[in-house]
Copies of this chain bind each other. A is one copy, B any other.
Amino acid sequence: MAEVRSEYEKALMEATMPAGKRKVLLAALQLFAKQGFDRTTTAEIAKEAGVSEGLIYKYFKSKDSLLEELSKSFYDQFRNTFLEGVGEYATLDELVTAFMRDRLNFARENFALIRIIGQEVFMNPSFRTAIANVVVNNGHINKYIAEIKAKYPDANPDLNPELLLRGVLGPLFSYALITNLFHLKSDDEDGSLTNLHRQLMLVFKGK
C-alpha cells in the first residue's frame, strides 16, 4: 500500500497551475489507475479532488482530454529519461545493469500511469501509435544506439529500435508488470533478476 510518489506527481506539485486543476489531475490519475478509465466517473473524480464536477470541464474539454493530458506526460517522462548517459559506463555489462535498474525503477515509480496506458494500449490505436513514436520513431533512441555501438566494441551490431522493443523492453516491462501487479518480491532472492540481466545481455551483446 505504501505508494511511491511518482516523478509525475512531484512535478505536478511544483507546476504553476490553479489548485483545482492540480487536484483534478491527481485525483484522475489515482482513480483511473485503480478502477480503469471507463469505470471512473467525472463525479468520482470531482469528489476525490474535492471540487465540483463543473470545474473539471473548465480545465478539460472532455473526460478523454483529461486522459490525454495524463498520458502525454508519461511519454515525456519516458523519453526524457530513456538510455540517458549511455556512454558513461566502463563495460557493456555495467551499462545493462544500470539500464535495467533504472527502467525497473521507472516502472515502479510511474506504475499508476503504466497501468492506465497499459489498459488503453489493447484497444486504443492512438495509444499504440504514440508508443511506437516514443520507442521506434524516436531520434534520441537511434542516437543512443549508435553511441552504444561506437563505445562498446562487443555491442551487438544488429541492435535497432525494433529489436530493442521486442528483445529488451518486452522482457523488462513484462517483468516489472508481473512483479508489481502480482506483488511478487522484486529483489533477487530467487535469481529472477539475474536471469533478466542475462536475457538483456543476450540482446545488447548479440551472439
Q: Does A158 contact B (CB under 8 A)?
A: yes
Per-position binary interface string of chain A over residues 11-35, scored 1 when its CB falls under 8 Å from any chain B CB and 0 otherwise: 0000000000000000000000111
Counting chain A residues whose Cβ lies within 8 A of the other chain, the interface size class is 35 or more
Q: How many copies does the complex hold?
A: 2
Contacting A123 at CB < 8 Å: which of B34, B132, B170?
B34
Q: Does A77 contact B (CB under 8 A)?
A: no
Nearest-CB residue, chain B, relative to A183 = B128
Given the known inter-chain contacts A178-B166, A199-B199, please indicate yes or no for A36 contacting B123, CB distance below 8 A.
yes
Q: Is the interface of A mostly helix, strand, loop or mixed?
A: helix
Min CB–CB distance A190 → chain B (angstroms)? 6
Given the known inter-chain contacts A175-B170, A202-B202, please indicate yes or no for A162 contacting B192, CB distance below 8 A.
yes
* Contact between B167 and A170, CB atoms less than 8 A apart: no
How far apart are the CA atoms of A44 and B182 in the complex, in Å? 34
Q: Does A121 contact B (CB under 8 A)?
A: yes
* Contact between A162 and B190, CB atoms less than 8 A apart: yes
Chain B positions within 8 Å of A123 at CB level: 33-36, 39, 115, 119
Which residues of A pack against B, CB within 8 Å? 33-36, 38-39, 115, 118-119, 121-123, 128, 132, 158, 160, 162-163, 165-167, 170-171, 173-175, 177-179, 181-182, 184, 190-192, 195-196, 198-199, 202-203
Closest 8 CB pairs of A and B: A38-B38, A170-B174, A174-B174, A36-B123, A171-B171, A199-B199, A119-B122, A166-B192
